A and B are shown apart, each in its own frame.
Chain A
């Protein structure tokens, strides 16, 4: 029995020494890891300090970006130009047929919507004794306006408001006609 206890004591001590070795290794590993984490945290915190100006800069840049954006929105809205009238009127002049002429042109706004903006054209066509011929010329002029994409692209609708016989004479008749175009 005595032998049993003394052998078991040696085994027990060996087992515990082995256990302590394992625990020691684990402890060493954990301590090493903890130190590594602490070092890494220290590095990160140092990195944070370096990036603090970046964050401050970010705030000021965002503010500046927003400010400039607001300015640009204002300016772009102001400088939005729907139609270059010089180009439109030049195109219109080229579409006027022979023996027809423009008497008055006006652009009026009845509201802020483009559909409530109108280009009114008062023109005259001559000289023929046959009214049909004059009406054909007016029709051709209207068709020409509608078919010319460069001119008509900004308009939605073209209406013939009236045709009046302005003059009857030996050299031929003259008819006045009034058109209105609404903007798109």
Chain B
């Protein structure tokens, strides 16, 4: 009798133990383990995406700074580009020189536009900087000559005195004969005609 009860209890005990181990195994292998793996992988993914999002927000802030910078550069560029001449209409430069000469009542002898040439080009923007030279000869007093050069150098449109020769006029010591080459610039996308 006792032996039978003992056997029965033993079966119950080991049966329950097996069942519990089985349930625990299912619990562990179907719930905890995949969950832990998913946790680890999601955490890694989250950390990467958080970094990327931070980078994007930083980019947004950098964009604002970049826009401010571009605004300044654009203003600078606009100011500088106003100082350029249009090569297709070199008469602009000629007019400017003639106007200065007229204002200062300088005797004008000759003005010769020389062929334009590319001085610098930028492949990134497909634009070239063209330099046009104008050779001029004038006859005037030294003081007016200096004024003329000052007006040319401070002109709203950029003109550079590339070279010059000033000589006293042999027949009138108060008069100077001057010849100079002035350079003006233009930005062009294509070669001038």
List the interface of chain A (C-beta within 8 A of B). 1-2, 5-6, 8-9, 12-13, 16, 19-20, 23-24, 26-27, 30-31, 33-34, 37-38, 40-41, 44-45, 47-48, 51, 54-55, 57-58, 61-62, 64-79, 81, 84-87, 89-90, 93, 102-109
Contacts and interface: CB of A to CB of B under 8 A. Distances in A.
B35 A93 contact: no
A73 B125 CA distance: 11
Interface stretch (B21-29, B89-97, B106-114): B21-29
Contact of B146 (A23, A76, A86): A86
B39 to A, nearest CB: 6
Contacts of B60: 51, 54
B2 A2 contact: yes
Given A2-B2, A68-B77, A37 B43 contact: yes
Contacts of B16: 9, 12-13
Nearest to A16: B20
Query: Which secondary structure dominates where chain B touches chain A?
Result: helix
Contacts of B120: 74, 77-78
Nearest to B28: A23
B56 interface: yes
A106 B177 CA distance: 11
Contacts of B46: 37, 40-41, 44
Q: Which 4 A-B pairs have the closest CB atoms?
A: A5-B9, A86-B150, A51-B56, A30-B35
A81 B160 contact: yes
A57 B63 contact: yes
Contacts of B165: 104-107
Interface of B: 2, 5-6, 9-10, 12-13, 16-17, 20, 23-24, 27-28, 31-32, 35-36, 38-39, 42-43, 45-46, 49-50, 52-53, 56-57, 59-60, 62-63, 66-67, 69-70, 73-74, 76-77, 80-81, 83-84, 119-122, 124-125, 127, 129, 131, 142, 146-147, 149-150, 152-153, 158, 160-168, 185, 187
A113 to B, nearest CB: 15
A38 B5 CA distance: 54
Contacts of B42: 34, 37-38, 41
A12 B17 contact: yes
B154 to A, nearest CB: 8
A9 B62 CA distance: 69
A54 B49 contact: no
Contacts of A103: 167-168
Given A9-B13, A102-B168, 4 more contacts: A5-B10, A38-B42, A70-B122, A104-B166
Nearest to B159: A81
B163 A108 contact: yes
B17 A34 contact: no
Nearest to B69: A65
Contacts of A55: 56, 59
Contacts of B52: 48
Contacts of B27: 20, 23-24, 27
Nearest to B162: A109
Contacts of A84: 150, 153
A104 B146 contact: no
B125 A67 contact: yes
